[in-house]
Structure 1
Amino acid sequence: MDPHQEYIYQEENIDIKKFLLRILGNWYWFAISLFIAITAAYLFNRYSEPIYSVSATLIARGEEKGKTGMEGFIEGMEIVTRQVNVEDEMEILRSYTLTNQALRELDDFEISYVLVGRRGIKESKLYNRSPFVVELDTLYPQLPGHKIYITLLNREEFRLQIDEHFDIDRVIKFGEPFVHPPLAFTVKQRNPEEFDPTSWSSNKFYFVVNNLNALTNAYRSKLSVEVNDPKKGSVLTLTTQGFVAQQEADYLNKLIEVYIDYGKEEKSKNATLALQFIDEQLKEIVDSLESVEQEMLEFRLKYNIIDLSQEGSAIAQKLIDLQKEKTMLGMQQKYYDYLLGYIRERGDFSDVIVPSVMGVNEPLLNNLIARLTELYTERTTLEHSAQRFNPSFTLNTRQIEETRQILLEHVNSIIESAALSMKDIDRRMAEVEKEINQLPVTERALIGIERKFQVNDEIYTYMLQKRMEAGIAKASNLPDNRMLDQARAENAARVKPKTSMNYMIALILGFVIPVVIILLIDFFNNRIVDRKDIEDHTSAPVIGSVGHNKTDSEIPVFLQPKSSIAESFRALRTNLQYMLREKGQNIVLISSTVSGEGKTFIATNLAVIVAMSGRKTLLVGLDLRKPKIHRDFNITNETGLSTYLINQSKLDDIIHPTDLDNLYVITSGPVPPNPAELLETGRMDAFMEYIRKEFDMVILDTPPVAVVTDAILVSKYSHANIFVVRHNFSHKNVIQFIDEIYKRKDIHNISLLINDIKLQGYYGYGYGYGYGYGYGYGYGYNYGYGYGYGSDYYSDDDNEQGSLFRRLLQSAGKRNRK
């Protein structure tokens, strides 16, 4: 495997491990979050009122080619059929008109009854199961939408409370009218024989007089109409949801009933219009027929003529046939004129008489009228379900105008064609008239009378047939649609609250929310929390890590030499050998970027641990601005390096031995007014040369490099320079500052040390990670929470065994090592 790819692979694993360790390190966040989430889910499931889904199915049967079942034996029945478009029927079912009518016919929907829980939190809709009913006085407007509370006191009385605007609180008997304009109603027991106020979980109720318009819009919005089989498009499923399954079932059944009645009314209206038109035509024909019949009788009696001659009969039949053709064409022309005026003057096609009534067989005309009727029906539906500026309404308007224009042009064309046909009939009748003129006068007159009689008689017979067809169609008016499956409350499905789903969501949120919080904290946290934060911002090596000091002493390596923190300083001592590789290199500078990162703590304990190895060690307090080392060793600071540099003290006077063998300390001395200038004097050069030769190891505690330049001035004497950064304290831009120094080589042989690592939540390579030159890794590799290869060897290990998660991490670390 390519080394670079292997490195990336390892880094990705480290990131995952870091994330998991962060989660385990904050396990109590997850425990709290899960407890809150599951409790919230329980309360939601406990106090949410269930919502049920109820469905019903119906068959919307579209008629093929305008035929009905009766047309199999009666021709012309197409005059009362209705073309069905499934999408239009779906819109009709969702229309405001049908929904409003259905709700008006459902008496129990006028008032909503609600049971209030004992704690006043949970409410239950009762529909027609309430122990009482309210009868409204229709002379008063009432207060739609306002809650009126009823508290059952006993079998005879109840407490009435109306808080909004009225401040009414009184005890009333059942059946006693309550009048307080605009309110007026009577509360009665629903079933007096079974009435028992104590049988309910709570004795507090309220009722609301529903606003019919708001209720209509609410039921329209929650009604779902779907086609079971989009290819056939005949079976529709209607679904609605609500708090009471029986109430929703009653609504669906009533809506389908109203819808079926609507279809029957539409068909019945078409048949009625056809009958009215036929009756008007029959009235004119009957008058004409009676007149001609009387005239023919008088003529026969006067001239004593019974029948025409054979030649006269033949000529008369020709003329009668032409006259019938002319009369039928004239009736059709009258219909065309009626239709033309209807199209121009009417704004809808709800009561147009279809062409088949007059025997007009024009497929295009029939299709255009059917299409226009369908578009106007669609517009009526859209007027209740969409705004005027809705794209569907705009499209419908454009289609109506286009279809009207096409229909007008087609009717005008038919009228012109009919006029030409009429001229042709007149021409042929004129030729027959010439033949009739050659007959005797008496026979010619009789032919004229018989012609009028037979034409009127046949037209009368034709119209009677049409009237009979329309009458039968009206009498046998069967609905195009029928209910397939009625809505049933017992088949209702509970859709909310979804108990299992809510608990599942709670579990997910209980885990996700802490993870998101941890990620956000990490994202916005500009402090150093792990080793990777250092490696991402500098190429300078990391020499090691030091854990958190749990003791009250500033020198824990002396008080607890077998502790884990003491072992981390031993690892640091070992790693220093790889920085001080040349003979005579023995001066180590300890600094930081800002105050508070623990440089003095590191310098002091490093000096102690080196001295404990048997080497003669000197700890020099070079922080001339904020002296501190003298307090750790209980040494006077009246003399020190500052007094030596100004030639007020001798070297022997400022070098103090300590209680630890091989460890000597030089304090900073009194704070001078010019520390930087003192560090650049010749005495400083002589001082550094002396201590380099006199001691095996020299540890210099210098001021923060980002605050003053003292450390940079002194770095020319040092052989190794360690910058201390503090876990969860130092900012990442501090690392960038050190990286700039490292790249510019302002200070040579730089490394970084991570201080004050809290065992919980840190992700890195443990205390005493080896120096980055490939020579080895020192002691105590440590992944995560301070547990690793060196566990159980430190005197402070027993203090950590109480945490289950820490023991798990320790076990995981051992498995990873294997």
Structure 2
Amino acid sequence: DIYAAKSEILLKSAETYDYQAQIYSNLGYYGLIQDVTNQKRILASYDMISNTLKKLDFDISYYLVGRWATDPVHTFHFIDIDVVHVEPQLYNIPITVRVQDYDTFEMSYELYGKVQKKTLPFGELVEDVHYRLIVSKSERFNLENFEQQKDRVWQFVVRPHGYLVSKYRGSLSIDNIDYTSILTLQVRDEVPERAKIFLDSLSRVYIDYTLESQFTVNQNTERHIEAQLTELQGIIDSLEYEMERFKASNNILDIDKESDEYFQSLVEFDSERRQLELRYESIESLEEFLFSEEGDAALPPSFYVFEEDQMLRNQVEELFNLKVDRTQKLIDFKPTHLEIYRIDSLISTVRVGILRYTLDTKQAVKKKIEDVGDQIRRLESVLKGIPKSQRDILGIDRKLKVNESLYIFLLEKKANTVIARAAIIPQTNIIEEARSLGVVGPNKDQTIYTAIGGGLAIALLIGFVRLIFFERIENVREMKKLSKIPVLGGVPNYTDLQEDPIVITAHPRSNVSEALRTIRTNLQYMLPGDDPKVILVTSLHPGEGKTFASSNIASVFAKANKKVLILDFDLHKPKIHKTFGLENVSGVSTFLIGKSDFEHSIVPTQVDNLDVITAGPVPP
């Protein structure tokens, strides 16, 4: 019997708030998860099934051998099988285990046409050229049920990983409930427990897969921010040290209020320029990401894309969706497929559009940096009136405050990213755990009806083909129905033709002899009178029995005290002389050309009253 299990998965659940959405929700991932067709392909992909099976111990199939049938089971209850290693030669080969006594068992299997059989101890590592394994007794195995276990026959089969992946991919079906983002998963297996375990594991592996992209985006963002913070920390430490050293060496305490106001304005412009430069660097980093080979598979750090630039966000989202779509279609198509070429063309078009946009954005940012730089230079010219020592301390303080403000900004971004990672939630939920559907196959009634119908159809087809292409006359009765001339009789098949060609002398009481006598009687009724009669035996093709019929009919008449003469007119392949063991020196051919007369051409045979005129030498 074949059993089935079923579970349901909800794509893109909105039951909880997702902090991550505020940071990189527009990078395309959320739109992707709702693509039901892609998710169905991912669930049924080779890698997804393979990763699921790696988490399970399905590499051993267990069977209980009964008197009439061998039943698959999920596991053995009284013995444990621990396979350490098996050579490929033993894959898919049944290995039988029988309990010999309380401490030993017999293990046997057939390999290369020979039965390998060994008696081994329980609980010890058994090593052979083809395997290393341990067969041990479970807690249920005890002296009370020992006699019962001796009568049992256990069997297990080690399956290769590729076989299991192909098996479960073929038995897995995924359907989408109409007007929902719910996927129904169903798998068929010989063991109901195994089907349920597989579906539950597949659902959890898929949920982990949906989290991978979110963690990747988060980690890329944090790494980028961390690199910026490390650089700024070094700059701030250097500026603080420089300020302390400068104040100590020049005995500077404070500056006047007016100079401080100019200085504050200068700090604000300098901070703005630093943020513009950071944006310029981020756009350059995004361009490097677009040109890099890794860009086809990896996710970009969300820090590359500023929140206020919605157009750039949309373009990056479109590019990311196309790349993910290409990666998923490579599961079913080769890189040379037209569909892959089409997606590559779209990716190239979108990438060019992003690069053009970033080029224009870079120019605009660069122009803004230049404008801010002009403002900074104007304020710096005003501050030149301040004594040099004070101007120097203002310059150091300005740089320090600019970098401190940028450092605080990046710390906030990093904190948001860490919070988002802690709040990452699966985009899919299991809304129905795997449950058994019971026996779903085979449909025994349908199988029986199909077999009966198929047998009848084959029988009718064979009969029709025989009727059309192989019609033949099988008995005298059919011959009489089809023929317009009298039918004298039929002769059964004679198997000893080569050893004894004259049936009437070799087997006078056989069915063949009786059939020949019947033909003789019928001929006598058709040819009344005492005058000599001439009977011609002929056929359309050679090898159809002219020699056998003529020689045996003549012999039957001779046995009835009739004087009979056989003339062999087959001048192409004469055989009468071979039937009676005569020489073919003279005969019909020599008589026709005048080399012998009629009387001297007659040759007697071993059958009384039967003479023969052979065909004579075959003409050239």
Partner residue, 2:157: 208
In the TM superposition, what whole-angstrom CA distance separates every residue of 1:761-803 from its partner, at most 9, and x where no partner exists?
xxxxxxxxxxxxxxxxxxxxxxxxxxxxxxxxxxxxxxxxxxx
- In the alignment, which residue of structure 2 is the partner of 1:638? 529
Aligned to 1:116: 65
8 Å contact kept, 2:125–2:134: yes
Higher relative contact order (CA 8 A, sep 6+): 2
Q: How far off its partner does 1:470 sit?
A: 0.6
Amino acid of the residue matched to residue 529 of structure 2?
A: E
2:134 aligned residue: 186
Note closer, same or farther for the CA distance 1:633–1:86 as it changes in structure 2 (3 Å cut): closer
**Residues 281-680 of structure 1 correspond to what in structure 2 (within 5 A)?**
281-293=228-240, 299=247, 302-305=251-254, 308-309=257-258, 312=259, 315-356=262-303, 359=306, 361-378=308-325, 380-381=327-328, 387-389=334-336, 395=342, 397-437=344-384, 445=392, 447-488=394-435, 491-509=436-454, 512-517=457-462, 519-520=464-465, 523-524=468-469, 594-596=484-486, 637-638=528-529
1:223 aligns with one of 160, 172, 178: 172
Distance 1:631 1:378, change over 3 A: closer
Cα distance, 1:171 vs. partner? 2.1
C-alpha change, 1:105 and 1:671, in structure 2 (3 Å) is: closer
Aligned counterpart in structure 2 of residue 102 of structure 1, from 43, 47, 52: 52
Residues 351/493 of structure 1: CA separation in 2 closer, same or farther (3 Å cut): same
Asked if 1 retains the 8 angstrom alpha-carbon contact of 2:77 and 2:140, the reply is: no
Cα distance in 1 between the residues matched to 2:317 and 2:267: 35
Q: Deviations over 1:373-401 (max 9, x none)?
A: 44544555556655555555555555555
Instruction: Report SS of the residue matched to 1:192.
Output: coil
| Cα gap change, 1:672 to 1:135, in 2 (>3 Å) | closer
The CA deviation at 1:465 is: 0.8
Structure 1 residues 481 and 592: CA distance shift in structure 2, 3 A: closer
C-alpha separation in 1, matches of 2:526 and 2:315: 113
How far apart, CA to CA, are the structure 1 residues paired with 2:369 and 2:14?
Answer: 35
1:278 to 222, 225, 228: 225
SS of residue matched to 1:305: coil
1:571-618 CA distance string (max 9 Å, x none): xxxxxxxxxxxxxxxxxxxx99743589xxxxxxxxxxxxxxxxxxxx
AA partner of residue 478 (structure 1): I
Q: 1:190 to 1:497 in 2, by over 3 A?
A: farther
**In 2, are the aligned partners of 1:54 and 1:241 still within 8 Å (CA)?**
yes
- Give 1:228 shift: 1.9
Relative to 1, partners in 2 of residues 1:592 and 1:387: Cα closer, same or farther, differing over 3 Å?
Answer: closer
Partner of 1:247: 194
Decide whether the 8 Å contact of 1:273 with 1:351 is kept in 2.
no
Q: Partners of 2:525 and 2:484 in 1: how far apart?
A: 25
Pair 1:58 & 2:3 matched: no
Give the letter for the 1:595 counterpart. Answer: I
Residue 121 of structure 2 is matched in structure 1 by 173
Deviation string for 1:234-280 (max 9, x for gaps)?
A: 21222221111211211111121122223334322322222222122
Contact preservation (8 Å) 1:52, 1:242: yes
Measure, in 2, the Cα distance between the counterparts of 1:252 and 1:342: 38
The answer to whether the 8 Å contact 1:355/1:366 transfers is: no
Distance in 2 of aligned mates of 1:323 and 1:261: 45
- For residues 361 and 202 of structure 1, the distance between their equivalents in structure 2, rounded to whole angstroms, comes to 78
User: Are the aligned partners of 1:113 and 1:130 in contact in 2 as well (CA < 8 Å)?
Assistant: no
**2-structure distance, mates of 1:182, 1:632:** 80
> AA paired with 1:288?
I
Question: In structure 2, do the counterparts of structure 1 residues 375 and 191 end up closer, same or farther at CA, with 3 Å as the change threshold?
Answer: farther
Q: 1:463 to 1:672 in 2, by over 3 A?
A: closer
Structure 1 pair 183/515, CA: closer, same or farther in 2 (3 Å)? closer
8 Å CA contact 1:113–1:127 kept in 2: the answer is yes
Structure 1 segment 27-38 matched on structure 2, within 5 A: none
Deviations 1:347-366 (A, max 9, x none): 34555443446645433433
Deviations 1:161-199 (A, max 9, x none): 132147421222322432212311111234434694776
Mean CA deviation greater in 328-337 or 379-388: 379-388
- Seen in structure 2, the aligned counterparts of structure 1 residues 435 and 222 have a Cα distance that, compared at 3 Å, is farther
Q: Distance between the aligned counterparts of 2:117 and 2:222, measured in 1?
A: 63
Name structure 2 gaps, 5 residues minimum. 489-518, 537-620
Supply the distance in 2 between the matched residues of 1:202 and 1:398 (Cα, whole angstroms): 68
Report if aligned partners of 2:4, 2:437 keep a CA contact under 8 Å in 1.
Answer: yes
Deviation digits for residues 383-436 of structure 1 (CA, Å, limit 9, x no counterpart): 665555555555555555554444444444433333233223323434444554
| SS of alignment partner, residue 323 of structure 1 | helix
Superposed CA RMSD in Å reads: 4.4
Contact 1:261 1:479 in 2 (8 A): yes
Tell me the secondary structure at the aligned position of residue 347 of structure 1: helix
Q: Determine the structure 1 residue equivalent to 2:578.
A: none
2:46 and 2:165 in contact (8 A); partners too: yes
* Deviation by residue 1:681-719 (Cα, 9 ceiling, x = unmatched): xxxxxxxxxxxxxxxxxxxxxxxxxxxxxxxxxxxxxxx
Counterpart CA distance in 1 for 2:54 and 2:255 is 69
Q: Deviations over 1:282-339 (max 9, x none)?
A: 1222333344455566559834325522xx4554444333222211111122222222
Over alpha carbons, which structure has the higher Rg?
1
| SS state at 1:70 partner | coil
Q: Percent identity?
A: 21
Secondary structure at the counterpart of residue 137 of structure 1: strand
8 Å contact kept, 1:118–1:201: no
Rounded to whole Å, the distance in 1 between the matches of 2:470 and 2:115 is 56
Does the C-alpha gap of structure 1 residues 377 and 444 become closer, same or farther in structure 2, counting only changes over 3 Å? same
In the aligned structure 1, how far is the partner of 2:176 from the partner of 2:26? Answer: 29
- Output the CA distance in 1 between the equivalents of 2:486 and 2:146: 74
Alpha-carbon shift at residue 62 of structure 1 (Å): 7.5
Helix, strand or coil: the match of 2:273?
helix
Contact 2:101 2:150 in 1 (8 A): no
Deviations 1:732-777 (CA, angstroms, capped at 9, x unpaired): xxxxxxxxxxxxxxxxxxxxxxxxxxxxxxxxxxxxxxxxxxxxxx
Q: Which residue of 2 aligns with 1:88?
A: 38
Q: Which residue of 1 aligns with 2:581?
A: none
TM-score by length of 2: 0.67
Question: What residue identity is the alignment partner of 1:225?
Answer: I
Deviation per CA, 1:649-706, whole angstroms, max 9, x where unpaired?
Answer: xxxxxxxxxxxxxxxxxxxx97799xxxxxxxxxxxxxxxxxxxxxxxxxxxxxxxxx
Distance 1:200 1:226, change over 3 A: farther
Partner AA of 1:503 in structure 2: I
- Counterpart residue identity of residue 243, structure 1: E
Match of 2:206 in 1: 259
Change over 3 Å in CA distance of 1:597–1:439 after alignment to 2: farther
